Amino acid sequence: MTIPFNKPYLSGREFEYIQEAVSSGKISGDGQFTKKCHSKLETLFGFKKTLLTTSCTDALEMASLLLKIGPGDEIIVPSFTFVSSANAFALRGATLKFIDSGKLNPNLDPHLIDELITPKTKAIVVVHYAGVACDMDAIMTIAEKHGIFVVEDAAQAINSYYKGRALGGIGHLGTYSFHETKNIISGEGGALIINQSDFFDRSEIIWEKGTNRSAFFRGEVNKYGWVDIGSSFLPSELNAAYLYAQLEALDKIQNRRIEIWERYQANLKDITNLLSIKIPEIPHYATNNGHMFYMVCESFTQRSLLINYLKSHGINAPFHYISLHDSDYFRENHDGRSLQYSAHYTDCLIRLPMYFELKDSEVDFISNCILNFKF
């Protein structure tokens, strides 16, 4: 028996909706399924405006264009995150200041923001790791005090909340991913969440290759043309049709993922005493969206042995990010600060299989294997 780390879930209506899109004769972007996804996301989570993109990476690049990031601007971004959280701003020529994670979890430690702010700081990128909220009140207070933008990389955080507010909807801009490894998927896909109305018009222009095409189709202007810089960020209707089926199944998907997560948590509650391996704690201000069940080992050696041991039982349990401040691309540009928690999660974090179709018996099998691991 082998248990993969992830398995993309088909809710059932994807083919029907794709067929409907194809039969409608309109398969490029911004058609009926795109519009349905926009309004579904806006009503489900109370967002003012969303735009589907072909990935979260694209949504982050749109954010970078919207904020007019350029050479000389400084961006504060976690080191323990996916490349795109930083790359989207590096692409525009920004200077990156990597911030460490906290002790509690891989989210950035808000206490470290102040010392990284200079007159050149333009934005903070926050990543809600494993779908668990960063401490947004602390972050927004600092950002407002210094007049800097907050971009929430909520790639993993659909249907997760901070003090009752949906993640992605708290900062100036937010981004979602619908990559096949996320909770709600469309193969490759994402969304930009625009929380400030003065960004609405330009966000559509950037989305539509620098043209005012969206306004034209709404009849607001009588011709459309090149009005700003932009790119082709909108997905085809085929992707949107797939995504719409998934969004309709949100509750079902989320309920099962959370069940699996809580089963791991209950099964593994003694692991910290047995092996000093830590399991996640959800802070009082956050919710759990069942995106990921991870554990933090006591050392790199322990984690390597555990990964190999699980592999020998057919279980794929991978590590995760490698600190960006210490990446091949960036290492020489880093200012030398030690980012101890980012390094710790790089070396010690392990993720357990998590997908809709994972059976209770498999969760128990994986948990028992871990409890029997000797170190």
Ligand X SMILES: *Cc1c(COP(=O)(O)O)cnc(C)c1O
Q: What is each CA distance from 335 to 25, 103, 109, 339, in whole angstroms?
A: 54, 22, 18, 11
Sign of the four-CA dihedral 219, 222, 223, 229: negative
Contact positions with ligand X (CB under 6 A) in 50-69: 55-57
Least distance (Å) between residue 228 CB and ligand X: 23
Query: Binding residues for ligand X, how many (CB under 6 A)?
Result: 14
Q: Is 123 a binder of ligand X (CB under 6 A)?
A: no
CB nearer to ligand X: pick between 31 and 190: 190
Q: Where are the alpha helices (DSSP H) in the chain?
A: 14-23, 32-45, 56-66, 83-90, 136-146, 200-207, 213-217, 237-248, 250-267, 271-275, 300-312, 340-348, 360-371
Asked if 291 interacts with ligand X (CB under 6 A), we say no
Which listed range, 81-89, 117-125, 259-267, 296-304, lies at the site for ligand X (CB under 6 A)?
Answer: 81-89
Q: Scanning residues 147 to 176, which ones bind ligand X (CB under 6 A)? A: 153, 155-156
Nearer to ligand X among residue 99 and residue 369 (C-beta): 99
User: Is the distance from CB of 371 to CB of 270 less than 8 angstroms?
Assistant: yes
Nearer to ligand X, 134 or 370 (CB): 134
CB of 58 to ligand X, least distance (A): 7
**Residue of 341, 268, 345, 349 lying closest to 306 (CA atoms):** 349
Q: Do 108 and 100 form a contact (C-beta atoms < 8 A)?
A: yes
CB of 375 to ligand X, least distance (A): 29
292 binds ligand X (CB under 6 A): no
Q: How many helices (H) and strands (E) does the chain have?
A: 13, 11
Residue 81 makes contact with ligand X by CB under 6 A: yes
Q: Does 342 bind ligand X (CB under 6 A)?
A: no
Question: Which of 228-255 are b and which e, b meaning 16 or more Cβ less than 10 Å from the residue's Cβ?
Answer: eebeebbbbbbbbbbbbbbbbbbeebbe
d(CA 47, CA 299): 41
CB of 64 or CB of 177, closer to ligand X: 177
Indicate the residue among 80 and 370 with the shorter CB distance to ligand X.
80
Residue choice 47, 80, 82, 162 for contact with ligand X (CB under 6 A): 82
Binding flag, residue 190, ligand X (CB under 6 A): yes
Backbone angles phi, psi at 220, to 5 degrees: -85, -25
Beta bridge partners, 208, equal: 232
Q: Could you identify the residue written with the tokens 């333009």?
A: 122
Binding mask 127-146 for ligand X (x = CB under 6 A): x-------------------
- Would the CA dihedral through 230, 231, 237, 243 be positive or negative? negative
| Residue 293 lies near ligand X (rule: CB under 6 A) | no
195 interacts with ligand X by CB under 6 A: no
Return the residues of window 84-103 that contact ligand X according to CB under 6 A: 84-85
H or E, element range at 27: none
Q: Which is nearer to ligand X, 175 or 212 (CB)?
A: 175
By beta-carbon proximity to ligand X, the closer residue of 155 and 240 is 155
Helix, coil or strand: residue 52: strand
Shortest Cβ 166–ligand X spacing (Å): 16
Contact positions vs ligand X (CB under 6 A): 55-57, 81-82, 84-85, 127, 153, 155-156, 177, 179, 190
